[in-house]
Each structure stands twice: as structure tokens, then as C-alpha cells.
Amino acid sequence: MPGGILVTGADGYVGWPTALAMALRYPNDQIIGVDNLSRRRWVEEIGGASAIPIFSSRERIDAAQNSGIRNLVMLDGDLTEPHFVRRLIRVHRPRAVVHLAAQPSAPYSQISLMEANYTQFNNNQSTRNLLWGLKEEKLVEECRFLITTTTGVYGSPSFEIPEGFLNVQTPTGSGCIPFHQLGGSWYHISRSADANNCWLANRQWGLSITDLRTAIVFGTHSPISIDDGRLTTRLDVDFYFGVVIHRFCAMAMVEFPLTVYGRGEQGKPLVSLKDCVDSLVEAVDVELDGKFQVLNQTMGPRRIMQIAEAVKEAGNALGLSVEIRRIPNPRVEDETHHMRIVNEKFCSLLKNRPLVDVREGIVDLMQAMSPHRQRVVALKSTFLSSDLRADVAPLSS
């Protein structure tokens, strides 16, 4: 009989608090976290670091045990290695796989051919290995496969974005087809391929799959990490791995102008770390149904300028001098796209409770960064890409 929950990418920004939350919610299950610490290496490679100190994997597990968590283990392993994945599934026979391991940065995937190739191989090979591992170990009918891809696979269409499937009308008929083919980076295309592979695994084998199309995740603490800093998840604020809210909060903290790309009217889908983690925990116990389900894991879109103004307001409340400055947009995107996106199934998974608001998340971020201001100061040079730094040199003075 299957037992336990496998959490991949368990050392990552979303993965670590998810592993902790799974351990607390399912005390009778062994939670098997798997990670090869790639995220730490990627951020170090581009000259960044977490704005909040993070501890080693071993120290994190020790802290979890000190907090009363006894059912969480961490394994070091590379999911692109099929033999490792097959052995992992054979030994642990999970009742659920929560697949959070991926190279998650669109800007990183755009650096050069090497990063583009690495991103697509790493992400797609890992997903295929896990899917086939469940098939070959005969767990298709007994295990739910959860994966977080990204709302970015939808691109910026002019119509309301559905939860994964599009009703199409043609001159000769109509039908419902999977929708995830407008991604705007090599990273986003890798997640489209992941969605295709999941859809195919469901169609061919009947594997129960939940694809949570994850929005831009913001926030820091999970409740258990507040009492023990060793349990805190990472917080990146650099150009490549720091999402827009995190970067803006870091900029405000050190009174660096908030750099809004272009007009700043483009809408970006957002979700708090808390809501992201809570929905993953809830999704584990969804009844096995042999279906491929897509949920848009988002509170909905907010305009970049709205986010900047909210961060400026929070910074001013702390006595900081915060300026908003527009700079040329380094990305190929519609700067006026406001985005409309359906999230009914996602909200239903969370029992339709109120989602964490952006302003609440900004206050959380500023409070978390405040004791580590000197670390943030040291990261100023990573807020912008080298090209942008050259264009707006006065900003870094």
C-alpha cells in the first residue's frame, strides 16, 4: 500500500514551507523532501543571496524536530536521473507526489543558450521521470500527482483566461482543448511542456493529476517559522530570482528607487506564500478520480504601478524616503495588458476563505527584511540586470 507524501524541491522558497505544512497537517504520513540544493547554487551563480539568512538543510531538519516535527526527512538527489527517481518511488511508494522542483526564473532562462537548455532539460526531464516512475512502479491508481507550473504559460491573451481548458468554436464544430501555449520565455515554454506531459500521462494511464498554475508568489513567514528563525524560507530580491514585490520591498528598505518597467500598467497575477502552501496541502486529499485538473493558483492580477505605490506607502509609514521611477522595459510584453483570469476552482479548494491581500504581504515583507537591512544593502547591485544598471547608473549611487 502507498504511504507518505513526496515533496520535490523541498529546500526551495515554496518547497520548504510546504514540507513543514505537510508534516503538520499529516502527522501519520512520512513527508519525504527531495532537493539537490540547485536553487542555492543558481542564486549564488548570478551574485545574489537570500535577503533573510537561511540555514542548511540539516539545520532546518534539526529545528523542525525541536519544534515537535518527527515525520519529515530530507533526501539529496537529482530528479533528472531516472534511476534515482525510480528507486525513490520504489522505496517510498508515496500516496501523493507534490512536484515543486524546477528552475523557476524566466530571466535566468533568457541569459544564454546554456541557461535556456538547462532550464528546459532540468524541468521537463524531472517531470517525465516522476510520471514514468509512478507508471513503472504501478502506482498510477493509488497516487495523486500535484505539480505547480505557472500562470505564465497563458501569456497575455485578450480574452479571459480559463482554468486550463479553452472552449473552441470552428466552422465545422466545437470542443474543449488544453490551453497553455503562449508563454513568453524559455522557462514558460518548459512549463507548457510539463503541462503537456502531465495531460498525456493522465490520458494514457489515468493518473490523477492536479496542475496548479502558480502566479507570482509573495511573502515570507509560515506560522511555525516565526518562533525559530532556522525554519524561515529564503527571500530573493535580485533581478533574476526576486519577484517584483520582493524586489520593490528591498529597494524601499534601502531607499533605492522602485524601478517600474515601462508604463507599469500591465497586470501580473499574484498569490501569497500562505495561500500557495495551504492550497497544496488541501489538494493532497482530493479524491483520486483519474482526471487532469487545472487550477489557477492566484488571487488575481494587480498592476505593477499599483504594487509600487503600495510599497511606497508602506515604506513611507516606516519613515523611509521611497521614489518610483520608470525605466525602459527589458521584457517583451504588452505594458497595458490588464489580464482577466478565472480562479473559481482554486478558491473552492481553499473553502472560499479570504485570500491574503497584497498590502498585507508587503507589510509582512518589510517587517521580515527590517532586521537584515545591511544584507539588503549588500544586494543593491543585484536589483537590476547588468544592462539596466548601465542604462540607469545614477540609480545605484
Q: Based on the number of CB atoms within 10 Å of its own CB, is 34 exposed (0-12), middle (13-18) or buried (19 or more)?
A: buried
The secondary structure element, H or E, covering residue 168 is strand 165-170
pLDDT, tens only, 346-360: 999 999 999 999 999
Q: Specify the higher pLDDT residue, 25 or 328.
A: 25
DSSP class of 372: G
pLDDT, tens only, 146-170: 999 999 999 989 899 999 999 999 9
Mean pLDDT of 356-367: 95
Q: At what angle do helices 304-317 and 358-369 cross, to 10 degrees?
A: 50
Structural contact between residues 58 and 31, judged by C-beta atoms closer than 8 angstroms = no
In DSSP terms, which residues pair with 269 in a beta bridge? 301
CA-closest candidate to residue 279, choices 191, 232, 210, 179: 210
Least trusted range by pLDDT, from 193-202, 220-229, 238-247: 220-229
Residue 122: Cβ within 10 Å count = 18
In angstroms, the CA 305 to CA 339 distance is: 14
Mean pLDDT of the chain, nearest integer: 94
Question: Would you state the pLDDT for residue 346?
Answer: 98
Exposure b/e, 306-320, CB count within 10 A at least 16 = b: ebbbbbbebbeeeee
pLDDT, tens only, 104-116: 999 999 999 999 9
Mean pLDDT of 357-364: 95
Please give the share of the chain, as a percent, with pLDDT higher than 70.
97
Reduced to 3 states (helix: H, G, I; strand: E, B; else coil), residue 303 is: strand
Q: In one letter, which amino acid is 155?
A: G
Please give the share of the chain, as a percent, with pLDDT higher than 90.
87
Mean pLDDT of 10-27: 97
In angstroms, the CA 95 to CA 134 distance is: 10
Q: Specify the higher pLDDT residue, 110 or 339.
A: 110
In angstroms, the CA 247 to CA 238 distance is: 7
C-alpha cell belonging to residue 199: 495531460
Question: Would you state the pLDDT for residue 396?
Answer: 46
Question: Would you state the pLDDT for residue 31?
Answer: 98
Rg (CA), the chain: 20
In angstroms, the CA 359 to CA 111 distance is: 32
Q: What CATH class has 5-236+271-299?
A: alpha beta
Kindly report the CA angle at 141 between 352 and 284, in degrees rounded to 5? Answer: 25
The domain limits of the chain are: 5-236+271-299
Per the rule left: phi > 0, alpha: psi between -120 and 50, beta: everything else, 300 is: left
In angstroms, the CA 277 to CA 18 distance is: 5
pLDDT, tens only, 124-149: 999 999 999 999 999 999 999 999 99
C-alpha cell belonging to residue 394: 545614477
pLDDT above 80 (res 226): no
Structural contact between residues 2 and 93, judged by C-beta atoms closer than 8 angstroms = yes
